[in-house]
């Protein structure tokens, strides 16, 4: 398990798309589309100064500096022996200002989702492994909840994995439930390894995952709040951008020397660290000709 730290780490998304072939199943297209959206989210957020962790322990360092900061992570599940791509699963998530974890995107390699007779594609437990690892991060940082948007096909998986009473389009996981997930032993073994454990419960969970692949993501997100705020801010003239920074109290001496293509990222990072994304939305949207201040997604 590792974390994306640059665009070069995300070149696998194109390999996933190439693996689809001529007649992919809808769920395979969904997996690749969600991987692409996760990549787009990473690029857009990085441009405006969104901090991303490189290791699980780095999240606490950000929280120590600013208890209300938003910190993101882009987890990649690697498998050296898988023939089509070394990356076989991904999870893009965020730690919110109130110390919850939001699962933005989760996807599995599309070939693993196709029910073929090729034994090379018979890989189980990808979503389970990603979410168990994420649950451990939530525990280490004393998070209050893990939540996200399930798809119609994946809601059953989240209900079973986290022992929830019911899941529809939203799963909300309290600490007691994600602690159960974090403590699971997942039996990641090669075929030649001898299995000496009683793994019936895990096998049943893997069967649920195979039937209900744990895809997460909403195609409207990148056309929504954060992308809109970025685009509308960049549409404004520099003097209006400086005025907004002054209104929020985050304008500093010497900011006029910051290059145009860097200024957006600097200001967004300051606003995030100061817990003022709500105020930033209001100031930007009321100045933009197509602004929507009444639809502020950062309202607390």
Q: Where a domain ends, among 197, 221, 245?
A: 221
Question: Do both 247 and 191 map to the same domain?
Answer: no
Question: Do both 208 and 250 map to the same domain?
Answer: no
Q: Answer yes or no: are the C-beta atoms of 80 and 188 closer than 8 Å.
A: no
Q: Give the mean pLDDT of 256-280.
A: 76
- Does a structural domain hold residue 300? no
- Does a structural domain hold residue 286? yes
Q: Where a domain ends, among 198, 221, 244?
A: 221
Question: Do both 180 and 254 map to the same domain?
Answer: no
What's residue 185's pLDDT? 67
Helix axes 277-287, 238-248, angle to 10 degrees: 140
Name the more confident of 176 and 208: 176
Q: Answer yes or no: are the C-beta atoms of 186 and 202 closer than 8 Å.
A: yes
Give the domain range for residue 16. Answer: 2-221
Residue 218 phi, psi (nearest 5): -125, 120
Question: Do both 48 and 197 map to the same domain?
Answer: yes
Question: Do both 58 and 189 map to the same domain?
Answer: yes
Name the more confident of 270 and 13: 13
- Does a structural domain hold residue 179? yes
What's residue 224's pLDDT? 52
Q: Answer yes or no: are the C-beta atoms of 180 and 173 closer than 8 Å.
A: no
How far is residue 123's CA from residue 116's CA, in Å, rounded to a whole number?
12
Question: Do both 70 and 44 map to the same domain?
Answer: yes
pLDDT 10s digits, 163-197: 888 888 888 899 998 998 888 766 544 444 444 44
Q: Where a domain ends, among 168, 197, 221?
A: 221
Question: Do both 217 and 231 map to the same domain?
Answer: no
Quickly state the pLDDT bin for 223 (edges 50, 70, 90).
Answer: very low
Asked if the model's pLDDT at residue 260 lies above 60, the reply is yes
Q: How many domains does the chain have?
A: 2
Mean pLDDT check: name the lowest of 156-170, 238-252, 257-271: 257-271
What's residue 90's pLDDT? 94
- Does a structural domain hold residue 68? yes
Question: Do both 254 and 152 map to the same domain?
Answer: no
pLDDT 10s digits, 44-103: 888 777 889 998 888 999 999 888 888 999 999 998 888 878 899 999 999 988 899 999
- Does a structural domain hold residue 63? yes
pLDDT, mean over the chain: 81
What's residue 287's pLDDT? 93
Question: Do both 279 and 214 map to the same domain?
Answer: no
Asked if the model's pLDDT at residue 220 lies above 60, the reply is no
pLDDT 10s digits, 16-30: 888 887 778 888 888
Structure tokens at 187: 């039996």
Question: Do both 50 and 182 map to the same domain?
Answer: yes
What's residue 126's pLDDT? 85
Question: Do both 207 and 252 map to the same domain?
Answer: no
Question: Do both 71 and 121 map to the same domain?
Answer: yes
Residue with tokens 């451990």: 136
Asked if the model's pLDDT at residue 107 lies above 80, the reply is yes
What's residue 253's pLDDT? 80
Structure tokens at 286: 């009321």
pLDDT 10s digits, 119-160: 677 777 888 889 999 999 999 999 999 998 888 878 888 888
């Amino acid at each position: 398990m590792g974390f994306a730290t640059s665009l070069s780490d995300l070149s696998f998304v194109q390999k996933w798309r190439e693996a689809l072939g001529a007649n992919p199943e809808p769920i395979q297209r969904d997996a690749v589309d969600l991987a692409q959206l996760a990549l787009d989210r990473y690029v857009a957020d990085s441009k405006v100064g969104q901090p991303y962790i490189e290791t699980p322990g780095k999240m606490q360092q950000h929280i120590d500096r600013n208890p209300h900061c938003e910190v993101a992570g882009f987890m990649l599940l690697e498998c050296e022996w898988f023939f089509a791509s070394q990356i076989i699963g991904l999870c893009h998530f965020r730690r919110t200002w109130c110390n919850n974890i939001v699962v933005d995107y989760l996807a599995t390699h599309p070939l693993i989702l196709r029910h073929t007779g090729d034994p090379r594609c018979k890989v189980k437990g990808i979503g389970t492994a990603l979410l168990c690892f994420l649950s451990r991060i939530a525990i280490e940082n004393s998070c209050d909840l893990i939540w996200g948007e399930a798809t119609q096909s994946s809601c059953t998986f989240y209900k079973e994995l986290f022992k929830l009473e019911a899941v529809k389009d939203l799963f909300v996981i309290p600490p007691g439930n994600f602690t159960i997930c974090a403590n699971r032993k997942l039996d990641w073994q090669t075929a030649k390894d001898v299995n000496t454990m009683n793994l019936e419960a895990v096998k049943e969970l893997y069967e649920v995952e195979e039937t209900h692949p744990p895809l997460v993501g909403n195609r409207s997100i990148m056309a929504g709040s954060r992308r809109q705020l970025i685009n509308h801010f960049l549409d404004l003239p520099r003097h209006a951008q400086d005025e907004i920074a002054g209104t929020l109290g985050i304008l500093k001496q010497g900011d006029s020397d910051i290059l145009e293509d860097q200024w957006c990222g600097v200001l967004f990072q300051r606003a995030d660290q100061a817990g003022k994304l709500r105020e930033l939305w209001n100031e930007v949207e009321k100045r933009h000709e197509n602004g929507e201040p009444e639809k502020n997604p950062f309202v607390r």
